[in-house]
């Protein structure tokens, strides 16, 4: 091969490499993970350590001011970790809460874990209510069982009862409002903890994980903590992939 042909071949190789790199970067799923007052210590970092293991994702930790400044326009998915749902809403401020709701309404995905599962029911954008206002049920390892849809989301290998860490996550009723999108159960609680005077008997066979929509946006909420449970940490990235696939942005 002469020098001119070699130079042309090298040029096209570099051009193609740049194109492939650009395409790869463009197709990454962009994930925003919230960290501000109200988020439990280390919760955002734990989620990030899981998310960063999947090359399909690029992520950034954001705070309430970032949301108020419009940063969610740069992302596909929003993750709200454990902590306090009302505390997280307070650090977002009403403007930030409305921007999160607008983000999901427009077709982007929302994943909420524990406090992040309280947040959308407190802000009334999913068809869910609490079974009791007494929320300090305690911390325990509880049994859950995935539904058929849950295995589609998280993996067909998860058959039967699974043990997961739980820490005061919401115990809920679903589909009480016929005018709101239907909630589908991904997993049921099969055991319970009921400390601090909380009602006994309401958690068993209640939804532990759900999928629904807020207008165009897909929503998954998870009451327990698979991200803190050995063998179930992959549930987080599986949920994010499912949300990305069902987004309508």
209 vs 184: CA distance, rounded Å: 9
Residue burial 170-202, b: 16+ Cβ < 10 Å; e: rest: bbbebbeeeebbebbbbbbbbebbbeeebeeeb
**Which pLDDT value is given to residue 3?**
52
Which are the contacts of 193, defined by CB distance < 8 A and separation ≥ 6? Answer: 137, 138, 139, 140, 142, 166, 203
Residue 156 is encoded by which pair of tokens?
């067909």
Which are the contacts of 170, defined by CB distance < 8 A and separation ≥ 6? Answer: 114, 117, 118, 121, 128, 130, 135, 221, 223
Domain positions in the chain: 29-245
Q: Is 168 left (phi over 0), alpha (psi -120 to 50) or beta?
A: left
As a whole-number percent, the residues of the chain with pLDDT over 70 amount to: 90
Q: Is the pLDDT of residue 19 over 50?
A: no
**Which pLDDT value is given to residue 2?**
53
**Which pLDDT value is given to residue 103?**
98
Do 35 and 61 touch, CB atoms closer than 8 A?
yes
Mean pLDDT of 137-163: 98
**Which pLDDT value is given to residue 15?**
45
- Residue among 86, 76, 72 at smallest CA distance from 114: 86
**Which pLDDT value is given to residue 100?**
98
Do 64 and 92 touch, CB atoms closer than 8 A?
yes
| Candidates 3.40.50.300, 3.40.50.880, 3.40.50.1580, 3.40.50.2300; CATH matching 29-245 | 3.40.50.880
- Residue among 212, 46, 244, 239 at smallest CA distance from 154: 239
- Residue among 140, 120, 118 at smallest CA distance from 196: 140
Measured over the CA atoms of residue 48, residue 49, residue 52 and residue 54, the dihedral's sign is negative
Which H or E element spans position 189?
A: strand 184-189
The alpha carbon of 237 is separated from its chain's Cα centroid by a whole number of angstroms, namely 9
Look up the pTM and report it: 0.90
Which are the contacts of 27, defined by CB distance < 8 A and separation ≥ 6? Answer: none
């Amino acid at each position: 091969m002469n020098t001119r042909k070699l130079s042309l071949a090298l040029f096209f190789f570099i051009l193609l490499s740049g194109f492939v790199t650009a395409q790869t970067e463009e197709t990454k799923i962009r994930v925003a993970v919230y960290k501000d007052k109200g988020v439990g210590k280390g919760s955002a970092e734990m989620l990030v350590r899981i998310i960063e293991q999947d090359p399909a994702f690029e992520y950034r930790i954001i705070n309430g001011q970032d949301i108020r400044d419009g940063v969610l326009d740069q992302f596909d998915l929003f993750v709200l970790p454990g902590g306090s749902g009302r505390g997280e809403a307070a650090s977002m401020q009403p403007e930030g809460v409305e921007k999160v709701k607008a983000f999901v309404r427009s077709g982007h995905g929302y994943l909420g874990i524990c406090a992040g599962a309280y947040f959308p029911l407190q802000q009334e954008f999913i068809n869910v209510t609490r079974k009791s206002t007494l929320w300090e049920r305690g911390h325990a390892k509880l049994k859950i069982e995935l539904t058929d849809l849950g295995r589609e989301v998280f993996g067909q290998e998860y058959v039967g009862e699974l043990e997961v860490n739980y820490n005061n996550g919401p115990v809920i009723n679903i589909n009480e409002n016929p005018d709101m999108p239907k909630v589908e159960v991904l997993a049921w609680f099969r055991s319970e903890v009921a400390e601090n005077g909380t009602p006994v008997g309401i958690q068993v066979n209640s939804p532990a994980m759900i999928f629904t929509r807020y207008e165009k946006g897909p929503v998954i909420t998870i009451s327990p903590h698979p991200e803190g449970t050995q063998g179930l940490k992959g549930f987080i990235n599986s949920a994010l992939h499912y949300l990305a696939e069902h987004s309508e942005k």
